[in-house]
Amino acid sequence: MDQRLTHHAYKLSFILLIFFLAFPPSSSQLHPLVANSTFLHLNYTAISDFRVLNRRTLLQCPDPNPYLQINVTNNADLSDEEFVTVNVSGVLLPSESDWVAMISPSNSDVTTCPGSEAYYLQTGDTSALPLLCHYPVKAKYMSSDPDYLSCKKQECQKYGNDGSCEVTTCSGSVTFHVVNIRTDIEFVFFTGGFTTPCILTRTDAPLKFSNPNSPLYGHISSMDSTGTSMRLTWVSGDKEPQQVKYGDGKSQASEVTTFSSDDMCSSIVPSPAKDFGWHDPGYIHTAVMTGLQPSSTFYYKYGSDSVGWSDQIEFRTPPAGGSDELKFLVFGDMGKAPLDSSAEHYIQPGSISVVKGMVEEVANGNVDSIFHIGDISYATGFLVEWEFFLHLISPVASQVTYMTAIGNHERDYVDSGSWYSGPDSGGECGVPYETYFPMPTPAKDKPWYSIEQGSVHFTVISTEHDWTEQSEQYQWMKTDMASVDRSKTPWLIFTGHRPMYSTLGADDKFLKIVEPLLLNNKVDLVLFGHVHNYERTCSVYNSECLAMPTKDENGIDTYDNSNYTAPVQAIVGMAGFSLDKFPDDAASWSLSRISKFGYVRAHATRDELKLEFVNSDTKEIEDSFRITKKQSSLRAR
């Protein structure tokens, strides 16, 4: 959850930052808006020393060591995924501050950028000069090798006349998880830690991927409510159309698109997405598989004879809207984490266990579809991180439909048209998100849509675009929910990213304007993310409980919507980002509050909607509730 800055406050602070950079006072006289610039970028880039690496002054390493070398164990071209071992040898005095960075492209400038001083104010660090013109993909301290600091791996570099060793050096190794990001990779050895770094040496030759055009990271989304057409999206370094082959001999050619740094947003100074965080995305392919049957299993593969083909993948179509049953998973704020314990720009520690849990759910046949409601990858202007995220979700997103909603870390940026004007997207402004995850939306940068699966109508909004009464989105919400045929889809679920109710605070204006629409259209359940925990309300309206659940025979909270009063609201933002703790006190509308990693498993029939919060570490059910209604009550709607 980010600090909520108003549009004018953010612009003012940014202008003041520029002013004080041009006319720097002494450090003891810094204006508070400059001195506290880190606060402005909480949850953006000023979280760790590594994340402000570009703002560190590059020092000259006082180390004329002639023995120092860095190399990789296997110099062969890289596969689509592998763990690469990097060896550092010839070290005279191992230090806890020694580290290795993975740089891509390999020709990136890793020297100082004195002419680009102002570019990095958005990192929340006002030190004198940036370190790297291009940001490292990831980094690791050499001390992660338990033998490095103790110098257990020794080599004699110089012998005396009597045969004794006069110069002994030490060595160590670190391992990096590498996926096919198409561009060449090199490894650079630093000392001085992330705060006072200097370059010691770098690999002699870049590592290349054996097939930079490989078709990768295929993921599925629904086109409509029929369950008969599914969109497949994948990434390749090849701009020529490819194919998806599916079913019983069917095929469909892909449409190809991409985006460039010119498509990224920026402000007074270049954003990370436009400058040091940019990475070429290759080409994004999409193809629509048609003529399918809902609630059925099919097989597909994608690619071409010239670039190669993916493995054959099994996937299941969702049930058609109006059918009797739907099983889905829902969560927000997942992102990704490294599989090699390296430092990266943004790490969401719970994401790996959540994905592992969902892989098991899909394998067990418990999932028809997945809804990820905002804060998708947390790339926030460091584009290569989208590749690692797509790799992480592939085991589930390639097998069931993966539907998304946009969040602040995909869309928000000053003067970009987003409703909230903080820098949370790092300059992406929704462009990578909408390219990687095409949803059935009305148009570009109008990321709201509805879809029906089984007995549920989902109304998916963008909390990052204008939702006030005169806006296009408000009119769409009003029309969409009013048009729901409750005899066809008894359940109406409203979802987006930022919440209306949270013990940790929410936007009162959003509540006052949009909540009446929910009540007027008898929305059953509201699901949000943004706050990084799990919280469930009573049947709430205007911050008051209009009805309370009762316990069923199994002790599960049960809301009877046969006599509708108000929606139940739940925050499900506990899927990856570091968890937000709850205060001791809470409002009366807050019935369940849990700060643990996990996801929500839902099962909808025509007369019951059951949700369970699954702890992804223990697989235990931390909270569960039911919403019920008699079919006779639907005819009254």
Band of pLDDT at residue 74, cut at 50, 70 and 90: confident
Nearest to 341 by CA among 145, 628, 98: 145
Whether the per-residue pLDDT at 2 is higher than 50: the answer is no
Question: Picking from 36-40, 300-304, 328-332, 561-565, which range would have the lowest pLDDT averaged per residue?
Answer: 36-40
Is pTM, for the whole model, over 0.85?
yes
The highest-level CATH class for domain 319-635 is: alpha beta
Token couple for 244: 């998806």
- pLDDT of amino acid 275: 81
- pLDDT of amino acid 421: 86
d(CA 184, CA 123): 26
User: What residues pair up with 86 in beta bridges, in sequence order?
Assistant: 72, 174
- pLDDT of amino acid 587: 96
Nearest to 606 by CA among 624, 635, 637, 630: 630
Query: Percentage of the chain with pLDDT > 90?
Result: 78
DSSP symbol at 627: E
- 174-219 pLDDT per residue, tens: 999 999 999 999 999 999 998 888 889 999 889 999 999 999 999 9
- pLDDT of amino acid 34: 31
Band of pLDDT at residue 57, cut at 50, 70 and 90: low
User: Do the domains 319-635 and 41-202 match in fold?
Assistant: no
Residue 341: left if φ>0, alpha if ψ -120 to 50, beta else—which one?
Answer: left
Largest Cα–Cα separation, the chain: 101
- pLDDT of amino acid 121: 52
Whether the per-residue pLDDT at 129 is higher than 70: the answer is no
- 568-605 pLDDT per residue, tens: 999 999 999 999 999 999 999 999 999 999 999 999 99
- Domain ranges within the chain, ordered by starting residue: 41-202, 319-635
- pLDDT of amino acid 85: 97
Q: Is the pLDDT higher at 18 or at 556? A: 556
d(CA 313, CA 630): 40
Band of pLDDT at residue 423, cut at 50, 70 and 90: confident
The mean pLDDT value for 400-409 works out to: 97
Token couple for 499: 């919440």
Write out the H or E segment, with its range, that includes residue 612. strand 608-615
Is the separation of the CB atoms in 429 and 435 below 8 Å? Answer: no
Band of pLDDT at residue 632, cut at 50, 70 and 90: low
Nearest to 245 by CA among 318, 317, 293, 309: 309
Whether the per-residue pLDDT at 51 is higher than 80: the answer is no
Whether the per-residue pLDDT at 472 is higher than 90: the answer is yes
What average pLDDT does the chain have? 89
- 431-453 pLDDT per residue, tens: 999 999 999 999 999 999 999 99
- 309-361 pLDDT per residue, tens: 999 999 999 999 999 999 999 999 999 999 999 999 889 999 999 999 999 99
The mean pLDDT value for 466-493 works out to: 98
Residues 6+ apart with CB under 8 A from 84: 72, 73, 74, 78, 175, 176, 178, 207
Rg of the chain taking only CA atoms, in angstroms: 26
d(CA 126, CA 544): 46
- 220-253 pLDDT per residue, tens: 999 999 999 999 999 999 999 999 999 999 999 9
Whether the per-residue pLDDT at 552 is higher than 80: the answer is yes
Fold designation for 41-202: Immunoglobulin-like (2.60.40)
- pLDDT of amino acid 55: 61
Write out the H or E segment, with its range, that includes residue 221. strand 216-222
Instruction: Indicate the Cα dihedral angle 86, 91, 95, 97, nearest 10°.
Output: -50
- pLDDT of amino acid 16: 39
